[in-house]
C-alpha cells in the first residue's frame, strides 16, 4: 500500500514510518518541521519506498498518485507547545484534519485520526473508557488542544457518515520513548534529562497527579492493528499501569542510576491550570477488537528511553 503519514518527522509519526516501511509498504512522510525533526527520519533518506514532503497540512494538500491510507498525526501535543502556539494548535486540529480528510475522500483512502486522552479533559470517570464524553474547559489553556481534537473527531465522524470515508479514531494516552524531543517540556524527557545531568527532578504539585505511560512500540502496534481492523468509533490505546508522578520520578532516577533528588516546584499557573489530576485508559475495546495490549514494561521502556537521551547528550 501507499501510506501518507502527517507529522511523519515527529516522535510517533517517525516510528510509524519505520514500521510501515518494514512491512513492505510505500511511505510518504509529511511534516512542516515546526516540532518534528529531520533527525527522526534521517536514517530513511534514500530509501526507495520513502518520500519526505515538507508541507504544512493547514494548507491545501497535493499528493500525486495513489494513496491507500492516510494517518493524521500532525499536531502540537505537548502542553508547552500548545501554550506557545495556541492558534497553530487549533489550526492543525481543525484545518489540518479537514485537508487530510479531503485528501482521503479524493483518493478513496482509509483514514486514521490520531486523537488523544485529552478529549476526556480532567476526567470525572476513572479509568476512562470510550463512552465517556469528558470534562473539558473550552477556554482554559489546554482548551486549544483538547477542543481541536474534539472538533477533529467530530469532523472525522462527519466524513465517515456523510462522505462514506472509511475512518478510524485512536485516542492516544501518554506515550514515551526514543525520539521524544528533549525540550518538549513533558514529564518523560524532563525527568530523564534531569536525571542524566544529575539535576533535581522538577515535580509539580507534590507529584500527586497520576498518568499511565505507554511505550511507543506498543502504541505503534496498536495503531497499525486498528487501521486494518473493522472497527467503528474511537479506540483508546495506552498502557493501563497507572503511577503517581512522584513514583514515576523515583523510577526514572533508579533506571538512570542517577544521584538526582526531587525538587517540588510550583510552575507558572498557565502550565498546570486544568492539568488532569488522574488519567488511565480503559483498554477493554482494544483488547477485544484488536487483540492488542501493551507488552513493554515501564522499566524496560524507560531503560530504552534513557539510553536514547544518553546517546543524544554525548553527540550534542
Ligand atoms: N510534570 C511534572 N514535572 C515536569 C513536567 C510535568 O511534575 O517537569 C507533571 C505535569 O504537571 C502532569 C504530568 O507530569 O501532571 C504529565 O505532564 P506532561 O506534560 O508529560 O503531559 P500531560 O499528561 O499533562 O499531557
Query: Grid coordinates representing 182?
Result: 528533549
Q: What angle do CA 304, 175, 218 make, to 5 degrees?
A: 70
Closest listed residue to residue 71, CA positions, set 217, 178, 172, 181? 172
- At residue 100, the pLDDT reads 98
| Catalytic residue, candidates 145, 159, 176, 204 | 145
Q: What is the CATH number of domain 2-176+215-238?
A: 3.40.50.720
Asked if 145 is an active-site residue, the reply is yes
- At residue 266, the pLDDT reads 86
Question: Using a 6 Å CB cutoff, which residues line ligand 1?
Answer: 79, 174, 186-187, 190, 202-204, 209, 211, 245, 272, 275
- At residue 32, the pLDDT reads 98
- At residue 126, the pLDDT reads 95
- At residue 36, the pLDDT reads 97
Q: What is the dihedral of CA 10, 12, 14, 20, to 10 degrees?
A: -150
- At residue 314, the pLDDT reads 82
DSSP designation for 170: E
Q: Is 22 exposed, middle or buried (0-12, 13-18, 19+ CB in 10 A)?
A: exposed
- At residue 315, the pLDDT reads 78
For residue 187, the CA-to-ligand 1 centroid distance in Å is 5
Tens-binned pLDDT, residue by residue, of the chain (316 aa) = 999 999 999 999 999 999 999 999 999 999 999 999 999 999 999 999 999 999 999 999 999 999 999 999 999 999 899 999 999 999 999 999 999 999 999 999 999 999 999 999 999 999 999 999 999 999 999 999 999 999 999 999 999 999 999 999 999 999 999 999 999 999 999 999 999 999 999 999 899 999 999 999 999 999 999 999 999 999 999 999 999 999 999 999 999 999 999 999 988 777 778 889 999 999 999 999 999 999 999 999 999 999 999 999 887 7
Choosing among 3.90.25.10, 3.40.50.300, 3.90.1150.10, 3.40.50.2300, the CATH entry for 187-210+242-280+296-315 is 3.90.25.10
- Residue nearest atom 15 of ligand 1, based on CA coordinates: 209
CB 231 within 8 A of CB 171: no
> Which residues contact residue 45 at a Cβ distance below 8 angstroms, ignoring those fewer than 6 apart?
52
pTM value is 0.97
Taking the domains of the chain in order of start, what are their residue ranges?
2-176+215-238, 187-210+242-280+296-315
Q: What's the CA gap between 272 and 207, in Å, rounded?
A: 12
Nearest ligand 1 atom to the CA of 204 is 7
- Residue nearest atom 5 of ligand 1, based on CA coordinates: 187
Amino acid at each position: 500500500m501507499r501510506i501518507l503519514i502527517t507529522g511523519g518527522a515527529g516522535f510517533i509519526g517517525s516510528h510509524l514510518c519505520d514500521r510501515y516501511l518494514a512491512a513492505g509498504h510505500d511511505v510518504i512522510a509529511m511534516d512542516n518541521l515546526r516540532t518534528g525533526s529531520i533527525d527522526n527520519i534521517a536514517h530513511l533518506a534514500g530509501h526507495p519506498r520513502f518520500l519526505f514532503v515538507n508541507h504544512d497540512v493547514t494548507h491545501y494538500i497535493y499528493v500525486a498518485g495513489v494513496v491507500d491510507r492516510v494517518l493524521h498525526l500532525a499536531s502540537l501535543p505537548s502542553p508547552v507547545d500548545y501554550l506557545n502556539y495556541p492558534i497553530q494548535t487549533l489550526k492543525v486540529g481543525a484545518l489540518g484534519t479537514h485537508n487530510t480528510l479531503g485528501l482521503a475522500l479524493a483518493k478513496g483512502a482509509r483514514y486514521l485520526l490520531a486523537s488523544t486522552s485529552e478529549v476526556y479533559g480532567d476526567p470525572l470517570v476513572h479509568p476512562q473508557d470510550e463512552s465517556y464524553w469528558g470534562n473539558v474547559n473550552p477556554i482554559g489553556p489546554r482548551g486549544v488542544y483538547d477542543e481541536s481534537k474534539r472538533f477533529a473527531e467530530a469532523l472525522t465522524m462527519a466524513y465517515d457518515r456523510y462522505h462514506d470515508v472509511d475512518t478510524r479514531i485512536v485516542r492516544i494516552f501518554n506515550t514515551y520513548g526514543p525520539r521524544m524531543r528533549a525540550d518538549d517540556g513533558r514529564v518523560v524527557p524532563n525527568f530523564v534529562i534531569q536525571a542524566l545531568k544529575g539535576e533535581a527532578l522538577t515535580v509539580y504539585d507534590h507529584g500527586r497527579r497520576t498518568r499511565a505511560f505507554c511505550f511507543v512500540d506498543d502504541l505503534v502496534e496498536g495503531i497499525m492493528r486498528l487501521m486494518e481492523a473493522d472497527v467503528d468509533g474511537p479506540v483508546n490505546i495506552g498502557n493501563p499501569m497507572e503511577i503517581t508522578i512522584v513514583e514515576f520520578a523515583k523510577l526514572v532516577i533508579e533506571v538512570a542510576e542517577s544521584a538526582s533528588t526531587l525538587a517540588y516546584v510550583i510552575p507558572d499557573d498557565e502550565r498546570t491550570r486544568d492539568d488532569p489530576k488522574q488519567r488511565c485508559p480503559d483498554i477493554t475495546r482494544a483488547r477485544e477488537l484488536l487483540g492488542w495490549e501493551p507488552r513493554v514494561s515501564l522499566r524496560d521502556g524507560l531503560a530504552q528511553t534513557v539510553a536514547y537521551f544518553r546517546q543524544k547528550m554525548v553527540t550534542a
